[in-house]
Amino acid sequence: MFKKNLLLASSVMLLVACVVFGISIGQLISLWGLPYVLLSVLFIGIGYLFKQHFFGKVLLAISLFIYIVLTSEHLYFFIALVALVICGSLLTKSMMAQTMHRMQNLTIDNMPTQYHAQVTKDTWLDPSVSLDGSFSFEDIHDTSLIGDTVINLTQTILPDTNSVIVLHKGFGDIRILVPLDVGILLSCHTLYGNVLFEKEDYTLKNAKLTMYSNNYVTSSKKIKIVTTVYIGNVEVMYV
């Protein structure tokens, strides 16, 4: 219940912050001009995306400093930006917590007697990376805001145990290539997008899709794929 309330509160706060920030951007454009506003927002965004690296931290610090100086006479501009970042972070963490909860509840040992696609409808307020080449597989847990993710498992050495891939994405597509002898348990949650799996195409609108591959029971190697995407497509195909 607490997680649902946090997600609801974060969604409302994010909506309010977006409206205030949009109004602030409009007033900033009238004060500075469109080019300066676009550069300011662009540099702040790039710095935030790469904040784990030294370059990103420096760019973010400089951009925020310039932004604060330029908006010193209009403090609510800066407050709107901070509120937008905080609310977005809370919403992302809430979505990730929901995904981890779903992943933990997916059982592999206690399998159902029938294996078919099952779509579960959610309420609206409920809760470019490429991996290729030959390597020994380790469980993957990746989070990205914008961009496409491609994972090629055809050259990997998969263990004879249950492997796990967990992907969180804001906007972008996910494509995963899996060897023919691997059984797949796929769980997708998205606000809007398509899921393509075993030549079947599903359109999801704020829905959750859980399905098993046809060879899941007989395969000695199994992989659990859990994805959360705001807007984007998910494709899992055998190669």
Question: Torsion angle of alpha carbons 18, 21, 27, 30, nearest 10°?
Answer: -80
Mean pLDDT by 10 residues, the chain (239 residues): 55 64 66 69 74 75 72 64 65 62 52 47 44 66 83 84 88 90 92 91 91 90 92 92
Are 57 and 123 part of one and the same domain? no
Cβ burial of 34 (10 Å; 0-12, 13-18, 19+) is exposed
Check whether residue 97 and residue 121 sit in a common domain.
Answer: no
The confidence score (pLDDT) of residue 42 equals: 78
Whose tokens are 């195409």? That residue is 201
Residue 172 covered by a domain: yes
Give domain status of residue 137, yes or no. yes
Same domain? For 123 and 72 the reply is no
Q: What is the pLDDT of residue 127?
A: 39
| pLDDT of the residue at 113 | 46
Beta bridge partners of residue 135, listed in sequence order:
156
Phi, psi values for residue 213, rounded to 5°: -75, 160
**What range does the domain containing 186 cover?**
115-238
Interatomic CA distance for residues 195 and 200, integer angstroms: 8
Query: Residues 14-25, buried b or exposed e (16+ Cβ, 10 A)?
Result: beebeebbeebb
Total structural domains within the chain: 2
